[in-house]
Structure 1
Amino acid sequence: MHKRKTIGAAALVAVATAAIGVVPAASATARRAADPFAGFDGQTLTWQACGAFQCATLTVPQNYSDPTGPVIHLPVIKSPATNPAHRVGTLFVDPGGPAASGVGFVQQQPSPFSPALRARFDIVSWDRRGSAASNPTLHCLDDSALDTYNHLDPASSDVGALMRAGASYATACRSASAAGLTSDGGTLQTAFDTDVLRSAIGEQRISYLGFSYGTFQGAWYAELFPTHVRSIVLDGMFDPSLSGEQILVGEAAGFEGELKYYESACTASNGVPCPAPDPAGMSALIDGLTARVRTSPLPVPGSTRTVGPGELASAFTFLGLAPEVTWGLANAALAQAATGDGTGLLAMADAWTGRNPDGTNDGTAVDGTALWCSDRPWPTSAPGWSALRSAAEAAGPHLGAGRAEQALPCTAWNLPTLLPAALTAPAAPPIVVVSTTGDPATPYQWGVHAARTFAHGVLLTFRGHGHTAYGRSNACVTDAVDKDLINGTPPVSGTLC
Structure 2
Amino acid sequence: MLVIAGAAAAGIVLLRDDSDSDGAKGGDRAAEPAPTEGPDGRSLEDFYGQRITWTRCDQNECGTLEVPVDYQNPGDGSIKLAVERTRATGDRIGSLVVNPGGPGAPGTDTAKDADFYFAQELRAAYDIVGFDPRGTGDSAPVDCLTDDALDAYVAADPDPDTPEEVATAKDNSEQFWSGCQARSGAVGGHVSTVEAARDMDVLRAALGEDQLDYFGFSYGTRLGATYAELFPDKVGRLALDGAVDPSLSPREGALSQAKGFETALRSYLQNCVDEGSCFLGASVDAGLRTITDLLAAIDAKPLPTKDPEGRDLSVGLAFYGLILPLYSEENWPYLDDALKQAIDGDGSTLLFLADTYGSRQNGTYTDNSLEAISVINCLDDPWSITPDQVPGQFPDFEKASPTFGDVFAWGLTACNGIPFTSTDEPDLKIDGSGAAPIVVLGTTRDPATPYEEAVAMADQLESGVLISRDGDGHTAYNKGNACVDDAVHGYLLEGTVPQDGLTC
**Which range, TM-score by smaller chain?**
0.7 to 0.9
> Partners of 1:209 and 1:68 in 2: how far apart?
31
Q: What's the CA shift string for 1:277-307, capped at 9, x where partnerless?
A: 6336533421220221221121223553222
Q: What's the CA shift string for 1:196-253, capped at 9, x where partnerless?
A: 1111111111211110000000000001101111111100111110111111111111
Ranked by relative contact order (alpha carbons within 8 Å, sequence separation 6 or more), the top structure is 2
Q: Aligned-pair RMSD on alpha carbons?
A: 2.3
Picking from 66, 74, 99, the partner of 1:67 is 74
Shift of 1:36: 6.1
> Partners of 1:88 and 1:155 in 2: how far apart?
50
1:390 to 1:374, Cα distance in 2 relative to 1, 3 A = farther
Are 2:310 and 1:310 equivalent residues in the alignment?
A: no
Q: What's the CA shift string for 1:119-144, capped at 9, x where partnerless?
A: 2222211011111112x221111111
> Partners of 1:215 and 1:432 in 2: how far apart?
10
Is this contact kept in 2: 1:62–1:181, CA < 8 A?
yes
Secondary structure of the structure 1 residue equivalent to 2:468: strand
Aligned match of 1:275: 279
Are 2:52 and 1:45 equivalent residues in the alignment?
A: yes
Secondary structure of the structure 2 residue equivalent to 1:43: coil
Shift of 1:38: 4.1
Is this contact kept in 1: 2:458–2:464, CA < 8 A?
yes
Is this contact kept in 1: 2:304–2:311, CA < 8 A?
yes
Shift of 1:183: 0.7
Are 2:365 and 1:360 equivalent residues in the alignment?
A: yes
> Partners of 1:330 and 1:309 in 2: how far apart?
16
The more displaced of 433-442 and 136-145 is 136-145
Is this contact kept in 2: 1:252–1:395, CA < 8 A?
yes
> Partners of 1:391 and 1:151 in 2: how far apart?
26
> Partners of 2:390 and 2:50 in 1: how far apart?
44
Is this contact kept in 1: 2:298–2:313, CA < 8 A?
yes
Shift of 1:340: 0.8
Is this contact kept in 2: 1:98–1:214, CA < 8 A?
yes
Aligned match of 1:122: 127
- For residue 208 of structure 1, what is the amino acid of its counterpart? Y
Shift of 1:154: 2.1
Are 2:210 and 1:204 equivalent residues in the alignment?
A: yes
Aligned match of 1:6: none
Aligned match of 1:291: 296
- For residue 499 of structure 2, what is the amino acid of its counterpart? V
Q: What's the CA shift string for 1:56-101, capped at 9, x where partnerless?
A: 11011111122222321111112222223xx322211111122211
1:35 to 1:226, Cα distance in 2 relative to 1, 3 A = farther
Is this contact kept in 2: 1:81–1:118, CA < 8 A?
yes
1:387 to 1:486, Cα distance in 2 relative to 1, 3 A = farther
> Partners of 2:389 and 2:229 in 1: how far apart?
31
Is this contact kept in 1: 2:466–2:500, CA < 8 A?
yes
Aligned match of 2:271: 265
- For residue 276 of structure 1, what is the amino acid of its counterpart? L
Picking from 95, 99, 102, the partner of 1:94 is 99
Picking from 119, 138, 144, the partner of 1:140 is 144
- For residue 134 of structure 2, what is the amino acid of its counterpart? R
Shift of 1:493: 0.8
Is this contact kept in 2: 1:211–1:234, CA < 8 A?
yes
The more displaced of 194-203 and 96-105 is 96-105
Is this contact kept in 2: 1:243–1:377, CA < 8 A?
no
> Partners of 1:193 and 1:453 in 2: how far apart?
24
Is this contact kept in 2: 1:299–1:341, CA < 8 A?
yes
Is this contact kept in 2: 1:81–1:119, CA < 8 A?
yes
Are 2:455 and 1:448 equivalent residues in the alignment?
A: yes
Secondary structure of the structure 2 residue equivalent to 1:397: coil
- For residue 225 of structure 1, what is the amino acid of its counterpart? F
Are 2:257 and 1:224 equivalent residues in the alignment?
A: no
Is this contact kept in 2: 1:216–1:238, CA < 8 A?
yes
Aligned match of 2:35: none
Shift of 1:448: 0.6
Secondary structure of the structure 2 residue equivalent to 1:411: coil
- For residue 153 of structure 2, what is the amino acid of its counterpart? Y
Aligned match of 2:170: 163
- For residue 336 of structure 1, what is the amino acid of its counterpart? Q
1:277 to 1:384, Cα distance in 2 relative to 1, 3 A = closer
> Partners of 2:491 and 2:468 in 1: how far apart?
15
Is this contact kept in 2: 1:198–1:205, CA < 8 A?
yes
- For residue 447 of structure 1, what is the amino acid of its counterpart? A
> Partners of 1:120 and 1:471 in 2: how far apart?
16
Shift of 1:164: 3.1
Picking from 179, 185, 195, the partner of 1:189 is 195
Identity of aligned residues (%): 36
> Partners of 2:67 and 2:400 in 1: how far apart?
41
Q: What's the CA shift string for 1:434-474, capped at 9, x where partnerless?
A: 00000010010001111111111111000001111112241
Secondary structure of the structure 2 residue equivalent to 1:73: strand
1:407 to 1:144, Cα distance in 2 relative to 1, 3 A = farther
Is this contact kept in 2: 1:150–1:311, CA < 8 A?
yes
> Partners of 1:231 and 1:47 in 2: how far apart?
25
Aligned match of 1:485: 492
Is this contact kept in 2: 1:241–1:421, CA < 8 A?
no
> Partners of 1:66 and 1:419 in 2: how far apart?
16
Secondary structure of the structure 2 residue equivalent to 1:81: coil
Is this contact kept in 1: 2:114–2:123, CA < 8 A?
no
Is this contact kept in 1: 2:222–2:243, CA < 8 A?
yes
Secondary structure of the structure 1 residue equivalent to 2:471: strand
Is this contact kept in 2: 1:236–1:442, CA < 8 A?
yes
Is this contact kept in 2: 1:36–1:65, CA < 8 A?
no
> Partners of 1:328 and 1:411 in 2: how far apart?
37
Instruction: Give the TM-score, by structure 1 length.
Output: 0.86
Shift of 1:348: 1.3
- For residue 192 of structure 1, what is the amino acid of its counterpart? R
- For residue 349 of structure 2, what is the amino acid of its counterpart? G
Q: What's the CA shift string for 1:328-376, capped at 9, x where partnerless?
A: 1111111111111111111111222222232435311111122111111
> Partners of 2:217 and 2:410 in 1: how far apart?
23
Are 2:440 and 1:433 equivalent residues in the alignment?
A: yes
